[in-house]
Structures are given as C-alpha cells and as structure tokens.
Amino acid sequence: MDDERVQKKILETVASLARYEIDVWTQVGPGVQVMLVDAISALPPEDRVQDRDLVIAVCEAVLSPEMEGAVWNANSVTLRAGRIPINAEIIKIREKAISILFELFKAAIADGERREILSTLRRAGHTGSRTEATDDWLNLTLKNATEVVEFLLGAAGPLSYELMQTLEHVYWYKYRRARDVSRSKARVNCQEASTRLMTAIEKLRDKFNEDQTFAKFKVLVGFESIFPYQWKERDENRADNYETQKEYRAAEAAKYIEAIGEQNEAEWLALIERIASVESNDMATFPPFAQFLTQLARSKPQTAARLLGLASDKVAGFLAAILAGLHESGEDKIYQNEVERVLQRGKYLAALARHLRLSKSPNVELAKRTLQRSMEVQQDVAVAECLITAMEAKPEDVPSKEAFFEPAIEYLNRKHEYWWTRAAWLPDQASSFFASLLERQARLLMPAMIQVPKVDYYVEQILIQIAKCYPALVWDCFASRLGMNKEDSPDRYEAIPYEFHGLQNELSKDPKLAIEFGRRIFNEIPRLFRFRGGRLLSIAFPSCPPNFAEELAKLADEGTKEDVEFILAVMENYHGEETTQEVLKRIIKRFPKDESIRTSVIISLESTGIVRGEFGFADALRDKLEIARGWQTDPRPEVRAFADAHIHSLQLRIADEQQRAEERKALRELQYEQTDELKDE
C-alpha cells in the first residue's frame, strides 16, 4: 500500500472516531471528541499546520450538531440520527475547534487551503438536516456563525477577490436565513442572535464593497457574484433570477466601458490583467469577462489595441474575444494589424484560430494562412482548432478539405496528438461534413479513434458519424483497439466501452459485416474473444436483435465448428433472450454429443446478469428451467434430448442453491442473535 493510500486510510479512521455515534454517546458522551480536540490543541502550531488535513477532518466532525448510528439485524439495517444534547462540554469542544480552524486559516498560504478551512468553519453555523433544531441549538449555531464573520472582519487578514466573492455569496444566503429567523414568531428566543449575525454580515458586505475595484471585479468575472440590488430584493425568486443578474452585469459593463478614458485606462488595464490571472477550471467563470472584452474592443478599438500591445500571456488567452470585438468595430485596419501581428509572431495562434472558428463572418484565406502558420511554428492547439473548424463550418466557409482538413489531421497524427477528440463538440451541421468525406479522408481520423484511452461520449459521436457512411472503418478501429499491445497503449486504456450510447444504432444495421469482423478477431485472439470481441458484438447488438440472430443462425447451420465456437463466445454475453434460443437449438442439432459445445450452450442459457436477494440465483435458475421446458416440445430429437438432460441438471442445482441460501440465512440470523445476547449481557 503506497503512502498516499495509507494517509487516506488514517484520515478516514480518525474522522470516523471523531464523529458522534449514538452507541458511543450512550456510554461516554462526548468523551472521544474531548480527547481528540484536546490532543490537537496540545500540539505545537507548526505540527497542526503539518497535519492540517487530519486536524480539519476532526474539527469538521466535532462541529456536527447531530449524532448518527445504525442497528443491524439479520435481514435489515436501521439508520438512526439524533440531536446532540447541548452541555458545557459540547460548547467548549466547538469553541476549541473553531479557534483551531482560525489559527490554521491565518497560517494558510494559498486560497485552496483557505477555502477548505472556510468550508469547515461554515459547519459551525449548520443546524443539521435530519432532526429539527431546538432554540438552544439554533442560538448556538447563530452565535458560532457570528464569530466566524467577526473573524473574517478582522483577524483573518486581507483576502483575495476570489475569496471575497465566494464569501459574499455564502453569507448572502446565511443573511436571508437569519432574516427569516428574526421575523419568525416560532423563534422568538432566537431573534437577538439572528439580528447579531445579520449585523455582522452587513459589516462584512460593506467592507468588501468599499473596494471599488472588487465591485468591478465581481461584475466582470465569476458565477458566485452578489450585487447590491439582491441584498435589497425581498422576492427571493427575483433575487435568484439568472437573467436579471445577466442584465445587471451587462448594464454595469456598458457603464464601465463608457467611463474608460485616458485618465483611468491604466487602472482598467491593470484590472483586466488581474481578472485574466484568475485560475479556474469552471467554464462558467469567464463568459462575462469575455463579453466585456468583446464589447470594449467593439466600442473602443484603440483602447483594445493598446491593451493587446501591453498584454501578458494571461490576457492574450482572451484574444479571441478581443478580435471578435475589433472585427465588429468597423476599424478594419486595427483588426488587420492585430491579426497580422499574431501571424508574424507565431504566438497566440490558437486564439486566432478560435476566433475564426466562432466568427460569424468567415474568412477562407485567413483560415488557410492560420493553419499553415500554426503548422510552421508547431502550435498544436491552433492546428486542432482549425481541424474542429473544418468539421463544424459550412463547406463554403472554409478552405477545401484537401487544403485544410487533410493537412490539419495529418499534422496531428504525425505529432500523436489525439486530445482534440474531447474538444470537438460537434453541432448538428457537422453531420454534413462527415457525409461528404471520401473513405481515405475518413480513414485519417482513425489513428485518433484508436489511440484515445477510452471511447467516451465525444469519441463515440465522431464514430457515429463515420459509421453512417463507412461502418467497416469503425469495426477496423475496434479491431485495432482490441489488438493494441499493453506496452504500446496509453495508461488506463479501455479497448471497448461498457456500453454504447448511439453507435449501436449504426453498427447494428449490417449484421453480416459485424460477423465478418467478429470472425476475423476470433481467428486472431480466440482465447479471450468472449470477453473482448464477443462483448463488443453484444453491445453493438444489444438484446440480440432478430436481424443479428438470423445471421448467426444461418452460420450455425452452414459454418464450421470454429464458426460455432465463435457464435457461442458471442452468445455467452447475452442472458438467454428469446432471439438466442433458435441459434442455440441449431447448434445442439449439429453437435449433440460434443461436450465442449454443450457446455457453452448451457453457459449461454444460464447466464443471468445481476440477481437480487438471498434467493435471487435460485429464482433465476427457476426462470431458466421454464425456458428449458419449452425445448422439450421442439421437433428436433437432439434438442429434446438436450433439454431433458439440462432440466435434470437444473433441478438439482436449484435444490442445491435453495438449500445453501437457506443455510446462509439461518447462519446469519444465528450470528445476529448471539451478538444481541452478548450486548444484553
């Protein structure tokens, strides 16, 4: 076991110890939690920082307002939850945990660490969700939440804009909840505590928004922003309305752009740099910022040009948005100058290619030049953008396939760059592109389809389009994936998916072609065919549709013994569907005495898939018994003889499985009875 897994196991164990368990509480109360928190408090500060994950896990557990437990018996489990009684020890535990988290927060050096600690601190204001909070508990959580806000107001120190944005979002919801409590006639005893929390949150809000740069920041970036009108809005549906927020942002952004001039341009360029430096993997973070840059470039192209002249790589990452605005501004000279500068420098070509991909005014010659320059300076991302543009755009909006698509895909294949498959969000019009491909052009896509570690949704969408015209290429693709050497394949390589999500509709149209593919793979790798090629055929023809069963039945009549072995390797992936019955009967008629074939037929007939319950397998065998009895009326004597023998075997197995299930159940009941007796003693 590696160090990371050991540490994870230790963390899970300590967190489990720190949780309030009903059975433990009845014996020692919060004794375990007191010992753990006291032990952490006794550690030197540097040790607490070093073991911060463990410390946070314990603090999170002891700040819970609820305890839980489970009662097990032989046939069921009952989950229990209860409210922790408030006493001096619980209050002290919570105070110590909050104090420990405050110290960890002040010692944190990165926002990621601070966010984790803040998430745990917010649990101090959580009243629980499985049991109703008493007034005492509500007052305690309101008090603890107020302490956290007051810490953020002072001792926490300066916070990044990203954290301020998140905190305002979090405490806006807590403010609304506290406001509801302050107005509730049923919570008269909690009104004072809720009012104190509201006052503290208002101070935190005002402190954040005194910084006018932060006020602009949250308008232009992020999806957690809270705006002034939302604090005043009493209608919660309107306050939460996304379209209203979008309109507010657009109006404020327009005001900002209107106010940008020579006197404050440097300040705005600095803010744009600051926003561009925000690190986020969430695609919802930057759309408002990109729209702002487009609008700025459209309204004030000279300002945008100066921005690009001074821009860092971070800002240049939004070049596509700026170019879109310049293109719409009517200042063609500025736009052309910026485009030429990108082409000459050979930098930021991916942004230029993306701009062309998204542009409503296509430029065929510029697209061709962008691809050529991208390949010259080996800008792989830019080449991939050009490739996806070729797939998405109308034929008249891009260079010919020979001049654009083919060079792009050949370049990426030579570089062994196949990640572009996940970036290709194919729109409906992409189907016309694939339909127009020659077979040799479609074949150029196959290296990526073979080398990607997994046939996920994105890859499957491409394969679906190819299969509409060239299904043989798709079967060849899977043949190559199945034949991939472990040494040559990427990490975590999955040759075939668990199931298809649309590709089966295309592949199942031609069962003869599928069987030809299957026989070829069977000849190459017969030993594991059932689990590889056979399973692939079963997901391409789910539930063994009639057209597939008919072709297999013909092969069972006319084929060699190897053909029959191939059929059985496929059949073993089904679960005795009705369409498989005739195929298996014909095999038995041809090879009534061959034990290996009879065994494979039995495996195919008895395959059950998932069963449920302690008698699930016995019940599944009873269903198989009814199917076998239907074979006794078949006109072929070989089939009837097989059915008689199989029925006898099934009856014995059912009796054996029923007895074993009953024994397991009786033993389990006995074990739980003994456990209960020991508890009573």
Residues 562 and 638 in one domain: no
Task: Report pLDDT digits (tens) over 393-431.
Answer: 889 999 999 999 999 999 999 999 999 998 877 666 678
Q: Is residue 650 part of a domain?
A: yes
Residues 500 and 451 in one domain: yes
Q: Is residue 477 part of a domain?
A: yes
Q: Which pLDDT score is estimated for 676?
A: 58
Task: Using only the alpha carbons of the chain, give its radius of gyration.
Answer: 34
Cβ pair 390, 429 in contact under 8 A: no
Alpha helices in 502-636 (DSSP H): 503-507, 511-524, 533-540, 546-558, 561-571, 578-590, 595-606, 616-631
Q: Which pLDDT score is estimated for 675?
A: 60
Residues 444 and 497 in one domain: yes
pLDDT greater than 90 at residue 78: no
Cβ pair 386, 404 in contact under 8 A: yes
Residues 590 and 629 in one domain: no
Q: Which pLDDT score is estimated for 622?
A: 93
Residues 425 and 503 in one domain: yes
Tell me which of 607, 625, 644 is where a domain ends.
607
Range of the domain at 567: 531-607
Q: Which pLDDT score is estimated for 1?
A: 46
C-beta atoms surrounding 657 within 10 Å: 18
Q: Write down the mean pLDDT value for the chain.
A: 92
pLDDT greater than 60 at residue 375: yes
Residues 432 and 475 in one domain: yes
Residues 574 and 616 in one domain: no
Average pLDDT over residues 636-662: 94
Q: Which pLDDT score is estimated for 609?
A: 79
Q: Which pLDDT score is estimated for 679?
A: 54
C-beta atoms surrounding 198 within 10 Å: 22
For every residue of 316-357, DSSP letters joined together read: HTTHHHHHHHHHHHS-HHHHHHHHHHHHHHT-SHHHHHHHHH
**pLDDT grade for 2, boundaries at 50, 70 and 90:** low
Distance CA 502, CA 426 (A): 14
Task: Report pLDDT digits (tens) over 86-122.
Answer: 999 999 999 999 999 999 999 999 999 999 999 999 9
Name the least confident of 161-175, 343-357, 473-487. Answer: 473-487
Residues 587 and 616 in one domain: no
C-beta atoms surrounding 278 within 10 Å: 17
Residues 603 and 615 in one domain: no
Alpha-carbon separation of residue 373 from 190, 361, 399 (angstroms)? 68, 21, 15
Q: Is residue 636 part of a domain?
A: yes
Tell me which of 607, 633, 666 is where a domain ends.
607
Q: Which pLDDT score is estimated for 613?
A: 85
Average pLDDT over residues 475-491: 84
Q: Is residue 136 part of a domain?
A: no
Residues 535 and 586 in one domain: yes
Q: Is residue 570 part of a domain?
A: yes
- Tokens linked to 438: 């020659």
Q: Is residue 172 part of a domain?
A: no
Q: Is 72 helix (H, G, I), strand (E, B) or coil?
A: strand
Average pLDDT over residues 359-380: 95
Cβ pair 222, 285 in contact under 8 A: yes
**pLDDT grade for 276, boundaries at 50, 70 and 90:** very high
Model pTM score:
0.84
Q: Is residue 676 part of a domain?
A: yes
Higher pLDDT pick, 537 / 80: 537
Amino acid making up residue 476:
D
Structural domains in the chain (count) = 3
Q: Is residue 619 part of a domain?
A: yes
Higher pLDDT pick, 222 / 5: 222
C-beta atoms surrounding 635 within 10 Å: 6
Tell me which of 559, 585, 607 is where a domain ends.
607
Virtual torsion, Cα 390, 392, 394, 397, nearest 10 deg? -50
Average pLDDT over residues 269-298: 91
